[in-house]
Amino acid sequence: MVCLTGGNVAFAQQNAYEEVLSRFIGEHKYDIEKPGALDGVQAPDFSAETIVGKSVSLASLKGKVIVLNFWFIACKPCKLEVDPLNEIVDKYKNKDIVFLSIAREKQEDLLQYLAANTFDFQTIADPKAFIAGDVFHILGYPTTIVIDRIGKIRYYSLGGKINEDAVRADFKRELIPVIDEHLSKDMK
C-alpha cells in the first residue's frame, strides 16, 4: 500500500518539489542529475508498507539520513548496483541511516526475487510507479537519492554504469561523501 501523506504540509512539500522539477522539462529534463540541481529541495513525503509489512514514511524518518534507490528486477544497471549498495549498507550498519528501495514490481514478485538475490535495503513494492512516478517523477532507473536529517535532498543520481567497478568508483567519489557529510551534521 502506498499513499501520499495527508495534510497541508505534505501537500506544500509536494508542490515545492514539483515547482523545482518544472525547471527540468523538454531538452533540459536530464539536467536534474547535474550536481546541486536538487540540493536543498524538500523531499516530498509519502507513506508505504515494505514487502515485509513495516509501515514507513519520510516524515517518520526525520532525524535520520535516508538513501532511496529506485529500481526494477529486469533492469541490468540496477542489478549492477546491488552488491556495491549492500556494501554501503554494511559500512553504515550502526549509524543513523535508513536504506529504502522502491521497486517497480508486485510484492509477490519481489519476495520471490529477493529470496534468491540479497538486497539489504528495506523494499517497497511500487508496481504502479506511484512513488517513482507521481511523487518523485523518476526519469530513469536506477535512481538514487540521499535525503538529509531534515528531509532535504542532498544527492540525486540517475541511471547506471556499465560494470560494478564503475558503480563502486562512482559511489566512492560521490555517494559516500554525501552520506558521511550528512551523518555528521545535526538537524538544523
Residue 93 lies in a domain: yes
What was the pLDDT predicted at 46?
94
Mean pLDDT of 106-122: 97
Cβ(151)–Cβ(43) below 8 Å: yes
Residue 188 lies in a domain: no
CATH number for the domain harbouring residue 113: 3.40.30.10
- Judged on CB neighbours under 10 Å (0-12, 13-18, 19+), 34 is exposed
Question: What's the rounded Cα separation, in Å, for the pair 72 and 101?
Answer: 10
Domains of the chain: total? 1
Q: What are phi and psi of 51, to 5 degrees?
A: -65, -15
- Of residues 115 and 20, which shows the higher confidence score? 115
Residue 160 lies in a domain: yes
pLDDT-derived band at 51 (thresholds 50, 70, 90) equals very high
Name the residue range of residue 116's domain.
Answer: 2-183
> Over 50: is that where the pLDDT of 5 sits?
no
HSE-CB of 182 using CA atoms within 13 angstroms: 27
User: Between helices 76-91 and 176-183, what is the axis angle to 10°?
Assistant: 40
